[in-house]
Structure 1
Amino acid sequence: MRSATVQRSSHETQVVVAIDLDGGDVSISTPVPFFSHMLSQLGVHGGLGLSVEATGDWMVDAHHLVEDTGIALGQAFREALGDRLGLERFADRTVPLDESLIRVAIDISGRGMAVVELGGNRSLALGTPAFYVEHAEEFLAAFARHGGCTLHVHSLADGNTHHQLEATFKGFAKTVHDATRVTSDAVVSSKGLLDG
């Protein structure tokens, strides 16, 4: 069973995330509709079982809610990986959505870091409450740090911000799916372990 559930509670947010790397239902509930839409893309295109229930001080700004969801999801992802035996480990995808083109690369190395360069109009808000490009950047960085993976996301062609962000989450989903495939019975590392 490559699955895990994480609950994160603070004065700002309450987040419960459940993930199954081998598939299942997708159920997303947040007070930020565009963020919920993006998380649905992650579950569907990543072939994941994914449940997210998140609420908090979104009326101030969606930042806390989005970042804390990324933290909880990263923690659940790391736990669900278990001993990491046989993981493909590396993956990359280039994903278009109309005029937008995004490249995503991942290494499930145990070392959590992210380089996210989406460019475009970072001040443009999508939906109510507002979801900004920088919210996506914070979510991906939080996931990588707490999920123990190196993540690179780069915009190769900007355009409509909705298209850009949707291509980002679909590309992220596909790389997670590819990198978590079990393709052998060994740890893919010359060190013999993936611990950072």
Structure 2
Amino acid sequence: MRRATVTRTTGETDIAVTLDLDGTGVVDVRTGVGFFDHMLDAFGRHGLFDLTVRCVGDLDVDAHHTVEDTGIVIGACIREALGDKAGVARFSQCLVPMDEALVLACVDLSGRGELFWDVPIPVPSIGTFDSQLAHEFFAGLARDAGATLHMRELAGENGHHIVEAAFKAAGRALRFACGPDPRVTGVPSTKGTL
């Protein structure tokens, strides 16, 4: 089974995540940050990941540590659940529209985790959610998953729509990159490792 549970405790957050790459999109998330929970629900449902997240963070400071550290732990779950990556598609992309917003996510499970982000969000906050935290989540996820992740906003005016399209696009792109390719034998790399 391509499933992992990772816990991480720091002076700022206490997080436990369980992720099944071959799930059906059953999501149970509690971070204490309402909009972020909504985004993680969209990420899991559209990625068809079974995802459980429990996070207690220093929300008396702000949501930064909660959001970034959750991205780190979800990324670590993805890396662990993939194992040696034998038989995976490795590359994928998804373009998601949400009303006027249009966001592209491209993934390479390269082992070299980095985010390339060009998603301007026209408002400083969405409800009480600091818009900059979307970048922090995906940076942590990409780094710890060992995935090169490019995200581009091609259109958009409404901050909620833009961020939600980004989470859905990333979920779907990861779904297909992590998915099995029946024509691939071994690890899809000329180096023999990812």
Q: TM-score, normalised by structure 2?
A: 0.95
| 2:93 maps to amino acid | D
Cross-structure match for 1:54: 55
Matched to 1:164, the amino acid is I
CA displacement at 1:4 relative to structure 2: 0.5
Letter in 2 for 1:135: L
Query: For residue 143 of structure 1, what is the amino acid of its counterpart?
Result: L
Q: What is the distance in 2 between the residues matched to 1:117 and 1:190?
A: 30
- Matched residues in 1 for 2:7 and 2:193: separation? 28
Q: CA deviation at 1:185?
A: 2.9
Alignment partner, residue 73 of structure 2? 72
Counterpart position of 1:105: 106
User: What does the per-residue CA deviation read over 1:26-75, in whole Å, with 9 as the maximum and x for residues that have no partner?
Assistant: 11111100000000011100011100001111121100000000111111
- Number of equivalent positions: 191
Q: Is the 8 A contact 2:115 2:142 kept in 1?
A: yes
Give the aligned partner of residue 116 of structure 2: 115
2:104 aligned counterpart, secondary structure: strand
Give CA deviations for 1:97-150 in whole Å, capped at 9, x if unaligned. 011110110000100101111113252x123xx212210100000000111000
| Structure-2 separation of matches of 1:122 and 1:134 | 10
What does residue 10 of structure 2 align with? Answer: 10
Is the CA contact 1:122–1:134 (under 8 Å) kept in the aligned structure 2?
no
Aligned CA RMSD, in angstroms, stands at 1.0
Q: Which residue of 2 aligns with 1:81?
A: 82
Q: In structure 2, give the amino acid aligned to 1:188.
A: P
Where 2:132 maps in the other structure, the secondary structure is: helix
Percent of aligned positions with the same letter in both sequences? 45
Residue 41 of structure 2: aligned partner: 40
The residue type paired with residue 141 of structure 2 is F
CA contact (8 A) 2:122 2:158 kept: no
Where do 4+ consecutive residues of structure 1 move more than 4 Å? none
Of residues 142, 147, 150 in structure 1, which corresponds to 2:148?
A: 150
Q: Which residue of 2 aligns with 1:133?
A: 131
CA distance in 1, matches of 2:119, 2:132: 9
Q: Is the 8 A contact 1:118 1:133 kept in 2?
A: no
Query: Structure 1 stretches of 5 or more lacking a match?
Result: none
1:5 and 1:83 map into 2 onto residues whose CA distance is 17
What amino acid is aligned across from residue 85 of structure 2 in structure 1? R
Do the aligned partners of residues 160 and 122 (structure 1) sit closer, same or farther apart at CA in structure 2, a change above 3 Å counting?
closer
2:86–2:187 CA contact under 8 A, matched in 1: yes
Query: Structure 1 CA distance, aligned partners of 2:154 and 2:131?
Result: 15
Alignment partner of 1:189 is 2:189: yes
Partner of 1:154, secondary structure, is strand
